[in-house]
């Protein structure tokens, strides 16, 4: 599994170089990487047994199903990409994005450690942003990419919080231990926050209501990215996550109610919105939204039969959706048309594309003898006990028939529109739909073997218990077959009066999209407006304002920490030597004198008195090294400031009286807070002083007798390195300023 992930990201890095060296074969060569992964997973070269792979990676039946889809369809997509983007100077960059996206999605489904899963989860959002915004000169593509990333990354933040709560409640970061039943999370006090946060992460990634709007907008991506995104990768990541956590978080009314409600709304809404479209890719995009809602709804039910229906639907959807997207891309690529209403009569000019399109479209509609029909039968069996869900299935299924026929049949039959010129797509763009079409036929014929070998382990992994998954192509005449035939009849009828039905559904989908889109746009506009106001308010270019912000924020943090901790600010007793008290009084008087002094030199001298007082305090309390350092630094500071101020022009006071009073109040409060903080620290009794550790280990561990020096160069080495780096940067900046002195009239500097 490690080699599979490394090979994907290595292929991503090599893609641009490979395209420059062998542009005619780069896509074909890169397709060998996912093909090798597919063969390895299918042949069992990548082991499932515990202990074969590192603990942070895991391959069971469910992740194996996804790994096969990601690598298998990924192989066809890479071949398709090579034909689709032929002649594009940025093809190498696009293939880099695709291979990185593939590796990220494989990482999601193979991760056993939840932190690793989250990292790959966010990588899918980032790489999809690059894919959607590939045509960076298009404003629409840039907006769609930003929209997709903002929605999915926001959900990712919720997921991160949910994972942190979940691991804290379960006591483990490993998915295998969670699924083994470590702790009863459903009875935990944080169960509801965990459920909501994890669900938010999954809903945003899998385009569930009300976050569904980003997915149709992502159609700005090139067709290869859309086909891969919708069939087997990112949009199914949320479904994968919910199914993974079903044995841990499922089985409660909250889980079932949330997932079934959101899934049902998304399923019906997506199907109706799909029926109102005429752009090829948007037709398919909304049916993807609908199918994802159906999958979430099945996870919410959580019975053994619905988990069986889930894995069957995942497989069937991946086959027909990838094929139809590739067909849509081929049609647009060869004809230049994106609307299905302006296509027709292409079956003789594009016979191979027509064959793949017809099989995929009929499978999407659930026509026999295709695997889509088997999936629909299993789906009806799973929801047959709920009449309301059955009605929803008929409505949604009819919309699937309409869309399947609109994309898979309509462009190829009837009369060819006047002026339309085209030819068959290149062979690399034909192989994907044909292979997937053949697969959906073979999987239907041999559905029993497919169910036993592939789907049964997957269903057992998400249900949490082993059980048989038996698939039959023909189960005789029963009420489920009657419902299926009724769905086909309604869908075919809607296709026959497609114009009127599309107009009605278009008005409905327009209202639905307006609400989601408008909400996103208002939110984005508000965020940008607030960011602009905040920048204008805080980034004033005045050093005093920056110091105010830092000081006030630091005081707020310390104040909240004190308030929540309940620490006693003042110790019960304070002991101080008379000499120390006298020195503190002198320093306080010098500080006040620094503020009220009329001359610059007077202020500098008073400030120097404060610094020398600190040095004497260090010496008084047994820190001669610090005292010597303070004396040297203070002397240099006084000298340098005196020299600098001597050359500055004399001017009036820049700050108003009001500003000075505000600064004085802030400084006084800040000083008081710091004083209370020091007193609180002094009042805390430690069992073992920290100094004992340094005294004990200074010579033994660091071979130094000067404890202060050892602390600076060993125990706090990185901190000291940071300080040295800051000083070096400041020195370089000062040197640059000195070298940039303006030239005199004679050309001399």
Q: Evaluate whether 119 touches 108 at the Cβ level (below 8 Å).
A: no
Same structural domain for residues 374 and 483? yes
- Tokens found for residue 17: 């170089």
- Kindly report the CATH number assigned to the domain that includes residue 571: 1.20.120
> How far is it, in rounded angstroms, from Cα 484 to Cα 365?
10
How confident is the model over 560-564, as a mean pLDDT? 79
> How far is it, in rounded angstroms, from Cα 697 to Cα 703?
9
> How far is it, in rounded angstroms, from Cα 361 to Cα 345?
17
- Tokens found for residue 560: 């909240």
Task: Confirm whether 675 is domain-assigned.
Answer: yes
Same structural domain for residues 425 and 401? yes
Please compute, for residue 570, the number of CA atoms within 13 A of its CA located in the half-sphere on the CB side.
4
21 phi and psi, to 5 degrees? -80, -45
Same structural domain for residues 674 and 526? no
- Tokens found for residue 406: 């609109």
Least confident range of 84-93, 180-189, 196-205, 543-552: 180-189
> How far is it, in rounded angstroms, from Cα 614 to Cα 312?
76
Q: How many residues does the chain have?
A: 749
Give the CA-trace dihedral at 7, 10, 12, 15, to 10 degrees: -110
> How far is it, in rounded angstroms, from Cα 318 to Cα 325?
11
pTM, two decimal places: 0.79
Query: pLDDT tens, 718-740?
Result: 888 888 899 899 889 888 887 77
**Which helix (DSSP H) or strand (DSSP E) does residue 206 occupy?**
none
| Helices H / strands E in the chain, number of each | 30, 0
Query: pLDDT tens, 223-239?
Result: 999 999 888 778 889 99
Q: 419 in helix, strand or coil?
A: coil
Q: How confident is the model at residue 672 (pLDDT cuts 50, 70, 90)?
A: confident
Helix spans in 232-367 (H): 237-249, 253-275, 280-301, 304-335, 351-365
What is the average pLDDT value for the chain, to the nearest integer?
85
Task: Confirm whether 124 is domain-assigned.
Answer: no
At 696 the pLDDT is: 80
Task: Confirm whether 732 is domain-assigned.
Answer: yes
Q: Evaluate whether 3 touches 69 at the Cβ level (below 8 Å).
A: no
At 50 the pLDDT is: 42
At 295 the pLDDT is: 93
At 177 the pLDDT is: 87
Same structural domain for residues 663 and 517? no
- Which among 539, 558, 593 is the end of a domain? 539
Angle, CA 203 vertex, CA 197 and CA 204 arms, to 5°: 95
> How far is it, in rounded angstroms, from Cα 496 to Cα 398?
12
Q: Evaluate whether 501 touches 402 at the Cβ level (below 8 Å).
A: yes
How confident is the model over 138-153, as a mean pLDDT? 91
Task: Confirm whether 472 is domain-assigned.
Answer: yes
At 78 the pLDDT is: 93
Helix axes 26-43, 2-21, angle to 10 degrees: 160
Task: Confirm whether 680 is domain-assigned.
Answer: yes
How confident is the model over 458-483, as a mean pLDDT? 80
- Which among 539, 565, 580 is the end of a domain? 539
At 316 the pLDDT is: 93
**Alpha carbon of residue 284 to chain centroid:** 24
Query: pLDDT tens, 17-68?
Result: 998 888 888 889 999 999 999 998 887 745 544 444 457 888 888 999 999 9
> How far is it, in rounded angstroms, from Cα 291 to Cα 270?
8
Integer Rg of the chain from CA: 34
> How far is it, in rounded angstroms, from Cα 660 to Cα 647?
25
336 φψ region: left (φ > 0), alpha (ψ -120 to 50), beta (else): left
First to last CA, the chain: 65
Query: pLDDT tens, 477-520?
Result: 778 888 888 889 988 888 888 777 777 766 665 565 556 777 88
Task: Confirm whether 484 is domain-assigned.
Answer: yes
Q: Evaluate whether 121 touches 237 at the Cβ level (below 8 Å).
A: yes
At 569 the pLDDT is: 63
> How far is it, in rounded angstroms, from Cα 23 to Cα 15?
10
At 52 the pLDDT is: 47
Same structural domain for residues 535 and 558? no
> How far is it, in rounded angstroms, from Cα 650 to Cα 2?
69
Q: 339 in helix, strand or coil?
A: strand
Least confident range of 118-127, 340-349, 452-461, 671-680: 671-680
Task: Confirm whether 168 is domain-assigned.
Answer: no
Task: Confirm whether 49 is domain-assigned.
Answer: no
Q: Evaluate whether 163 touches 196 at the Cβ level (below 8 Å).
A: no
Please compute, for residue 231, the number of CA atoms within 13 A of its CA located in the half-sphere on the CB side.
34
At 564 the pLDDT is: 78
Same structural domain for residues 611 and 634? yes
CB-based burial of residue 135 (10 Å sphere; 0-12 exposed, 13-18 middle, 19+ buried)? middle
Q: Evaluate whether 705 touches 587 at the Cβ level (below 8 Å).
A: no
In 598-704, DSSP assigns E strands to none
At 51 the pLDDT is: 45
> How many structural domains is the chain composed of?
3
Same structural domain for residues 301 and 441? yes
Same structural domain for residues 600 and 488? no
Query: pLDDT tens, 590-618?
Result: 988 888 887 878 888 888 898 898 888 88
Same structural domain for residues 534 and 637? no
How confident is the model over 282-302, as a mean pLDDT? 91
- Which among 478, 504, 539 is the end of a domain? 539
Same structural domain for residues 418 and 365? yes
> How far is it, in rounded angstroms, from Cα 40 to Cα 435?
19
Same structural domain for residues 429 and 333? yes
Domain of residue 397 covers 252-539
Same structural domain for residues 687 and 739? no
């Amino acid at each position: 599994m490690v080699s599979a992930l490394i090979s994907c990201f290595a292929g991503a890095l090599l893609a641009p170089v490979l395209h420059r060296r062998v542009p005619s074969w780069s896509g074909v060569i890169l397709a060998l990487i996912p093909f090798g992964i597919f063969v390895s997973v299918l042949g069992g070269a990548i082991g499932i047994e515990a202990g074969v792979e590192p603990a942070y990676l895991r391959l069971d039946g469910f992740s194996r199903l996804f790994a096969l889809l990601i690598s298998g369809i990924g192989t066809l997509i890479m071949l398709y990409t090579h034909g689709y983007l032929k002649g594009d100077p940025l093809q190498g960059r696009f293939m880099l994005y695709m291979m990185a996206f593939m590796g990220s999605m494989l990482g999601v489904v193979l991760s056993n450690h939840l932190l690793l899963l989250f990292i790959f989860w966010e990588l899918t959002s980032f790489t999809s942003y690059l894919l959607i915004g590939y045509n960076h000169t298009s404003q629409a593509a840039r907006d769609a990419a930003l929209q997709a990333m903002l929605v999915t990354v926001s959900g990712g933040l919720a997921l991160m919080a949910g994972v942190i709560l979940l691991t804290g409640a379960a006591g483990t970061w490993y998915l295998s231990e969670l699924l083994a039943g470590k702790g009863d999370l459903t009875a935990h006090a944080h169960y509801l926050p965990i459920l909501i946060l994890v669900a938010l992460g999954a809903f945003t990634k899998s385009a569930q209501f009300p976050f569904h709007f980003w997915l149709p907008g992502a159609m700005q991506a090139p067709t290869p990215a859309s086909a891969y995104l919708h069939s087997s990768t990112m949009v199914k990541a949320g479904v994968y996550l919910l199914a993974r956590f079903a044995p841990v978080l499922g089985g409660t009314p909250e889980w079932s109610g949330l997932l079934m409600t959101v899934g049902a709304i998304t399923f019906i809404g997506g199907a109706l919105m799909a029926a109102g479209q005429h752009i090829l890719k948007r037709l398919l995009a909304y049916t993807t939204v609908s199918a994802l809602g159906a999958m979430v709804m099945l996870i919410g039910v959580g019975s053994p039969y619905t988990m069986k229906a889930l894995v069957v639907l995942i497989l069937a959807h991946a086959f027909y959706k990838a094929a139809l997207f590739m067909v849509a891309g081929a049609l647009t690529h060869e004809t230049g048309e994106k609307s299905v209403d302006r296509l027709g009569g292409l079956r003789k000019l594009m016979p191979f594309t027509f064959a793949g399109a017809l099989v995929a479209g009929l499978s999407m509609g659930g026509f026999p003898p295709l695997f889509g029909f088997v999936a629909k039968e299993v789906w009806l069996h799973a929801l047959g006990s709920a009449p309301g869900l059955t009605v929803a299935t008929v409505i949604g299924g009819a919309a699937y028939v309409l869309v399947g026929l609109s994309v898979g049949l309509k462009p190829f039959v009837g009369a060819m529109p006047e002026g339309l010129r085209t030819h068959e797509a290149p062979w690399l763009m034909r192989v994907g739909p044909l292979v997937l079409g053949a697969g959906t036929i073979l999987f239907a014929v041999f559905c029993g073997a497919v169910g036993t070998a592939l789907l049964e382990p997957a269903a057992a992994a998400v249900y949490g218990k082993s059980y048989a998954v038996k698939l039959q192509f023909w189960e005789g005449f029963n009420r489920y077959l009657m419902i299926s035939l009724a769905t086909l009849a309604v869908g075919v009828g809607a296709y026959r009066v497609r114009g009127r039905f599309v107009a009605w559904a278009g008005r409905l989908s327009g209202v639905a999209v307006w609400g989601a889109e408008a909400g996103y746009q208002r939110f984005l506009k508000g965020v940008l407006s607030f960011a602009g106001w905040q920048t204008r308010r805080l980034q004033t270019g005045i050093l005093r304002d920056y110091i105010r912000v830092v000081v006030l924020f630091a005081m707020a943090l310390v104040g909240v920490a004190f308030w929540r901790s309940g620490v006693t600010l003042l110790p019960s007793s304070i002991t101080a030597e008379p000499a120390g008290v006298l020195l503190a009084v002198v320093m306080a008087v010098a500080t006040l004198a620094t503020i009220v002094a009329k001359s610059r030199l007077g202020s500098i001298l008073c400030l120097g008195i404060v610094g020398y007082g600190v040095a004497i305090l260090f010496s008084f309390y047994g820190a001669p090294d610090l005292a010597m350092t303070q004396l040297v630094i203070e002397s240099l500071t006084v000298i340098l400031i005196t020299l600098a101020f001597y050359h500055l022009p004399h001017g009036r006071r820049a700050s108003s009286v009001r500003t000075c009073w505000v600064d004085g109040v802030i400084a006084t409060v800040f000083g008081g807070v710091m004083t209370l903080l020091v007193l609180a620290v002094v009042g805390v009794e430690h069992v073992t002083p920290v100094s004992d550790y340094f005294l004990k280990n200074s010579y033994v561990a660091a071979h130094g007798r000067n404890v202060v020096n050892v602390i600076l160069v060993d125990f706090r080495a990185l901190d000291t390195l940071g300080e040295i780096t800051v000083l070096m940067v400041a020195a370089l900046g000062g040197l640059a300023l000195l070298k940039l002195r303006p030239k005199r009239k004679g050309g001399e500097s």
